């Protein structure tokens, strides 16, 4: 999970080409026109259900879909540039929202990381589960949307897909709504790694920076998300919190944490 120079280049490429400006414009135009299916089509998201209106639950789902920004969802879904691939991580199912009657709105990632990067919007009954390929499996050459998934990701926060909640992004990452004199990536660009961690309430000892500079620098692209998850866990757990195989946080009082970069047994880890 360390951001290497190659991974940084991969993220820049993904952000430039994976969600191009024409896609954003077309999807936004259709969404603002009230055509959520058209917005999905513009962002290359296949809709794999027919919504029958008439109940409070389906009305709520329809309202959510009118505010779905599929291009924003595509922007935030997991990728693996550190492995040399800028495509979406394949065969993952991410939950967008849960409703009464055990209905779940979710999005599935593509079949592979090499073909068409089409997403699949699904509405399932009951908890989404992983599944294997069908008995008669035709392979990926037909480029049809993925219909089975190896992983079910944790529920996505609404700010990554719901236009009514996009303003919550900074707050969710631990940043206030006011303008910031500096952002995390600016600090890392100037080698002020410890300050970037400290601004989020996580203190990195100087000796860790000297010994594990690559680790301290490498987590920057998920730093707010990691600290946010640690704070949520600390509210119900005491003692050291292992965020990843070589990343742990120890409460240090006054809402701050001491960061430790060592090998910790696991998984599970809370976010890596």
- The string of pLDDT tens digits covering residues 13-30 is 777 788 888 999 999 999
Angstrom distances, CA of residue 139 to CA of 145, 147, 157? 12, 12, 32
Query: Cβ distance 97 to 107 under 8 Å?
Result: no
Query: Among 55-59, 190-194, 215-219, 223-227, where is mean pLDDT lowest?
Result: 215-219
Q: Which two tokens stand for residue 218?
A: 């490498």
| Dihedral angle sign, alpha carbons of residues 52, 146, 225, 159 | negative
* Local structure of 54: helix, strand or coil: coil
CA distance 24 to 42: 8
Confirm whether pTM is higher than 0.75.
no
- For the stretch 227-264, pLDDT in tens is 888 888 888 888 888 887 678 889 998 889 998 876 55
Residue 154 DSSP one-character state: P
Residue 23: predicted pLDDT: 94
Mean pLDDT of the chain: 76
Phi, psi of 131 (to 5 degrees): -155, 160
| Dihedral angle sign, alpha carbons of residues 125, 128, 129, 135 | positive
Question: Mean pLDDT over residues 184-192, rounded?
Answer: 54
Query: Cβ distance 256 to 201 under 8 Å?
Result: yes
Q: Where are the beta strands (DSSP E) in 57-136?
A: 92-98, 103-108, 119-125
Q: Which of 42-46, 206-210, 246-250, 261-265 has the highest mean pLDDT?
A: 42-46
Q: Does 135 score more than 90 pLDDT?
A: no
Q: Does 216 score more than 70 pLDDT?
A: no
202 vs 151 pLDDT, higher one: 202
Instruction: Tell me whether residue 143 is exposed, middle or buried, using C-beta atoms within 10 angstroms of its C-beta: 0 to 12, 13 to 18, 19 or more.
Output: exposed
Q: Does 55 score more than 90 pLDDT?
A: no
């Amino acid at each position: 999970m360390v951001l290497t120079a190659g991974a940084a280049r991969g993220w820049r490429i993904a952000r430039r080409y994976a969600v191009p400006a024409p896609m954003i414009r077309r999807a936004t135009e259709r969404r603002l026109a009230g055509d959520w299916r058209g917005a999905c089509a513009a962002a290359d998201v296949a809709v794999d259900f027919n919504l029958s209106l008439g109940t409070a639950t389906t009305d709520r789902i329809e309202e959510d879909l009118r505010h779905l920004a599929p291009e924003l969802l595509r922007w935030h879904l997991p990728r693996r540039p550190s492995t040399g691939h800028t495509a979406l991580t394949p065969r993952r199912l991410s939950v967008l929202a849960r409703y009464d009657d055990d209905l779940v709105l979710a999005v599935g990632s593509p079949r592979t990381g090499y073909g068409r990067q089409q997403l699949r919007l699904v509405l399932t009954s009951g908890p989404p589960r992983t599944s294997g390929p069908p008995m008669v499996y035709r392979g990926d050459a037909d480029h049809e949307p993925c219909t089975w998934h190896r992983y079910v990701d944790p529920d996505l926060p609404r700010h990554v897909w719901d236009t009514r909640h996009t303003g919550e992004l900074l707050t969710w990452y631990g940043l206030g709504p006011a303008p910031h004199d500096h952002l995390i990536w600016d600090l890392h660009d100037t080698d002020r790694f410890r300050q970037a961690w400290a601004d989020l309430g996580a203190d990195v000892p100087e000796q860790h920076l000297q010994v594990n500079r690559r680790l301290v620098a490498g987590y920057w692209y998920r730093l707010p998300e990691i600290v946010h998850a640690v704070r949520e866990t600390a509210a119900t757990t005491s003692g050291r919190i292992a965020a990843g195989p070589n990343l742990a946080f120890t409460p240090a009082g006054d809402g701050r944490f001491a960061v430790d970069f060592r090998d910790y047994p696991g998984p599970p880890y809370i976010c890596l």
